Structure 1
Amino acid sequence: MTKEQLADLTAKYLDGTATATERKLLEQWYYSFEGRELVVELPEGEEEHELAGRMKAKIDERKAEGSRRKRIVMQVRPYRMAAAIFLVVTAALLSVFFSSRQVYNAQQQPRFVVLKDGSKVWLNSATKLVYTDFPFMGERRLSLTGEAYFDVARNPDKPFIIQSGTMETQVLGTAFNIKAYPGEPFAITVTNGKIKLEDKKTKTVTFLTPNKQVKYANQQPPVLVAVKADVAYAWTKGQLEFSDQSFGEIARTINRKYNVNIVFANKSLEQCMITATFEKESSVSRVMELLCKINNATYTFSADSSTITLDGKGCQ
């Protein structure tokens, strides 16, 4: 580096206009003397001791600033490592969570699914099922809204637990139907095996065996009855089977199956109790015709066929 270049670089360094590369070059040159005599051609008007003092102060200041940055980096680095570890662990947990969690929905039509553990499930219309089977937990946990028929793969080491509102059903390996639509009576019917049903709100526990049904309706105490279990899951074959059910409850079932709204002009009709069976191919008109015939009622379709209005004296 010539004297002219050095003088120019020194002036830029002192007035703060030097680039990072130029600053580094001058600092390396300054420290290369290691106590030997340092001779610099002064910019005009500068005294030697003033220049030396200013350069030394400036370079020492930058050196101190660099040391502070190093200390800060050394302090921050462990936190960066902890943050990186946290992100890796979080990503791993999320991966496990999503790979262990399955969500199934049935809209207008029933749907058949096989869960990760091999259990078979039939979902009725307007039903949502969330299945979670974490490898580090000792249970298979599900959340059900709607209606489903379960044929559970047996695993004594991992109970099969279904949450439906305040109701919790626990099994090891069995077959049963759960009806848990919001705003409607809750009912569970066992085909084979044994289940434990607990109402978390009242702490009521019921054990059910084949051809037994328990029903919760209108905030009344649960009713346990003997039934033909195949009636409860006839819907899985496309059939409609009603056993001592109210017209109002049946109307909601028809709404889900045929996507038609039912309005009771005579509200007392809703309380009529009905036992009836309809084949898979039965049209909504055929179903309504027979239901109205046995309940002394009439029905009419709206202009766009989206609504059925029921009227008449009813069962009285």
Structure 2
Amino acid sequence: MKLNGLKEEWDELPQKGIFPEDIKLRMWDVVASATINKRRNIYRSVMAACAVLLISLAGFQFYFGFQSVKTAGVVTQTYPQDIRLIRLSDGTRVWVNENTQIEYPEKFADNERIIKLKGEAFFEVARDTTRPFIISSGNIKTTVLGTSFDVKAYGNIAEVNVRTGKVKVESSQNAVFLERGYAAIFVPKENIVQKRKALVIDPEWKNSLIDVDGLSLEAVIEKLKTNHGFTFKYASEDLKKLQVKGTLDTRQGVPELLQTIAFALEITIKPVGNDTYVVSR
């Protein structure tokens, strides 16, 4: 493949302006280098790794801002096949499903935590009894102090499913209180929410991303081994202690997952046959 053709393929990846220019240039340099050296199999795995670099690199949060009179905020928009995990200023973690928009302040107010959601997201809310966490999502409002739950809000379709803790869900006409294993369903004709048994409390799409932030390389590899069969060898013991930041996309295969880790940590992970890999500097 010619370099121009590869550049066109790279540009088609779902970056959608979420990468800073310096990171995009670094990723493209790696892809171009692999291609110039005629490593067709390698550059495809590098492209896969770079495509998910957003959720693998430490210390980066990519967003475009919206300004208000009182505070600056963040808008995150996802696209088809684009699932992300974001961390809010209070420690709350949010898995954002594809085709979803979420708005939140860079720093929450002293008396409340308010965000807006269009689409679907799974929340693990950091507990704070002095500041309720409020999600405005179309026809419903969800209020919690600290819990985990899934919220869907697509037009007149609105639903909240609770995995842990207690949640209050309101429409303009009524309110229901939910605990683990229950859901609130919005009924458009009556403009009310109804309490029901939840069919799903841990959505399958959320499991596409695993949070490895702060784990050692050894711990991350062991976590991956629970669902994938492979052998991993270390050139030196100190490599086991390297700290991984961010999130891994499990929709990739083992080679792509390991390439993502290698790129983020600036190390080398090579296959040596029979599903065995060796890591070195």
More relative contact order, 1 or 2 (CA 8 Å, 6+ apart): 2
Instruction: Return the TM-score normalized by structure 1.
Output: 0.41
The structure having more radius of gyration, on CA atoms, is 1
Q: Which of the two has greater helix per residue?
A: 1
Instruction: Return the TM-score normalized by structure 2.
Output: 0.46
